[in-house]
Structure 1
Amino acid sequence: MNIIYVHGLDSSANSIKGLLLERYCQHYDPDMTVHRPDLNRAPEQVFDDLVDLVTTLTGRNQDCKTVLVGSSLGGYFSTLVSNATGCSALLLNPSTQPHLTLQRFEQQGVNGQDKSDVLYTTSGGWDITRADLKWFGTHQLSTIDYPKKVTAMIKEGDELLDANRAKRFYKQQGATVIVQAGGDHRFSDFEDQLPMVIDLLQS
């Protein structure tokens, strides 16, 4: 099985959750290969790169399943890529409205600096621009084309995103939704949940 870990905003290929997932698979199931692409670039390039990666991995071995694991903004991208490719996806506190939630950067400039057209620079080096917000606006999540292949794990204690909105959207679309009390946006207990995560991926 190929697992593509899709990190969120202000993260990178070396995301803690991505590394924990890779180490767990290496130790308990070496037949699972975790890919951790760095996605700190414009959203259209992220989407195209992920579709290309899914297509490449699927074409390399038709019998080897490919699954996306997306966290936060990575959950949004994983949903789009699942729609485009039919690939299965496991989402962790997925962002459902980045065209709205990322507007918080419009008044902030670049980490307090004045830089033309750049609204915010992530810790991974992605300069978010107004053009990026426009792209998110024209690629809003409205449907899930393969709901039986999508599972969303949502923490009710998510302090950054609206957990209730995410629950409603994925349930209404027919995806599997696993709601967990408490917790936080970062899924700080992710390491403890890895056995269940692997079970979900294998199913």
Structure 2
Amino acid sequence: MNLIYIHGLDSDANSTKGRLLEDYCHQHHSDINVYRPNLNSAPEQVFEQLVKLVTELNKGAKTVLIGSSLGGYFSTLISNHLGCPALLLNPSTQPHITLQRFYNASISNRDSSDGLPNNKVLHTTAGGWNITPSDLQWFAEHQLLAVNYPDKVAVLLKKGDELLNSELSKAFYRSQGASVTVQAGGDHRFSDFDKQLPMVIDMLQDLGRV
């Protein structure tokens, strides 16, 4: 089985959860290959990069996505597009709204409210992605309105997520028929991810059998 770890907004290919996942599989599941692509690009490029990677990997073995935060959003898009299984960790469901904070911050720093050029850099992530108004528009045009393969999607939420509203994610994915597990406490980063790896692998393997 192939696993593609899809990192979140202020992360990269060397994210803590991605490395923990790969190390755990090396030690306990040598039959699982973990891929950790760097996705600090414009969203249309991320989408195309992931479609190409999943399509290539699927020629050899079953491929399952595991996406965190904004990576959960992209995992849902790719699953909808290709029908591949996906496990989502505290997924972002409305990046067109939550990332609007960068646009609002840039507007507030200007003397006028005439808007900003489409190529204006609103924010640079820790991984080097320069977010622009064009990126926000792309998210607005690619909102999550459905889960096309709910039997292939599982969601793991922390009730204590301090960045995203776990209730919104729970309501959306449950309304679409996807499996949703809500854990008490915790945080957005899933700080206890290392302790949850045995369960996470079980969930991923179950998805891989669908």
- TM > 0.5: yes
1:98/1:136 contact within 8 Å kept: yes
User: Is 1:128 the equivalent of 2:138?
Assistant: no
Q: Tell whether 2:71 aligns with 1:68.
A: no
Q: Does 1:21 align with 2:24?
A: no
C-alpha displacement of 1:130? 0.1
TM-score by length of 2: 0.91
How large is the Cα RMSD of the aligned pairs? 1.2
Question: What fraction of aligned residue pairs are identical, expressed as a percent?
Answer: 64
Aligned mate of 1:91, from 74, 88, 93:
88
* Alignment-derived partner of residue 78 in structure 1: 75
**1:2-41 mapped onto 2 (5 Å cutoff):** 2-41=2-41
Counterpart residue number, 1:148: 151
Displacement of 1:66 in angstroms is: 0.3
In the alignment, the residues of structure 1 paired with residue 200 and residue 194 of structure 2 have an alpha-carbon distance, to the nearest angstrom, of 10
1 CA distance for matches of 2:80 and 2:52? 14
List per-residue Cα deviations over 1:147-193 (Å, max 9, x = no partner).
00000000000000010000000000000000000000000000000
| Structure 1 residue 108, shift from structure 2 partner | 3.1
Q: Which runs of 5+ in 1 are unaligned?
A: none
The match for 1:164 among 140, 164, 167 is 167
Q: Could you report, residue by residue, the CA deviation over 1:96-128 in whole angstroms, capped at 9, with x for unpaired residues?
A: 00000001111334xx9xx96110000100000
Per-residue Cα deviation, 1:136-156 (whole angstroms, up to 9, x for no partner):
000000000000000000000
Question: Counterpart of 2:58 in 1: which secondary structure?
Answer: helix
Secondary structure in 1 aligned to 2:105? coil
> Which secondary structure does the structure 1 equivalent of 2:122 belong to?
strand
User: Quick one: which amino acid aligns to residue 80 of structure 2?
Assistant: N
Q: Could you tell me which residue of structure 1 aligns to residue 52 of structure 2?
A: 52
Asked whether the equivalents of residues 170 and 177 of structure 1 are also in contact (C-alpha less than 8 Å), the reply is: yes
**1:175 aligned residue (154, 178, 188):** 178
Paired residues in the alignment total 196
The answer to whether the 8 Å contact 1:108/1:120 transfers is no
> Paired residue for 1:108?
105
Gaps (5+ residues) in structure 2?
110-116
Which 4+ runs in 1 deviate beyond 3 A?
A: none
What TM-score, normalized by structure 1, do the two folds share?
A: 0.95
Write the distance in 2 (CA, Å) between the matches of 1:162 and 1:135.
Answer: 22
Question: Which residue is equivalent to 1:118?
Answer: 121
Aligned letter for 1:179?
V
SS at match of 1:68: strand
Q: Distance in 2 between matches of 1:190 and 1:172?
A: 26
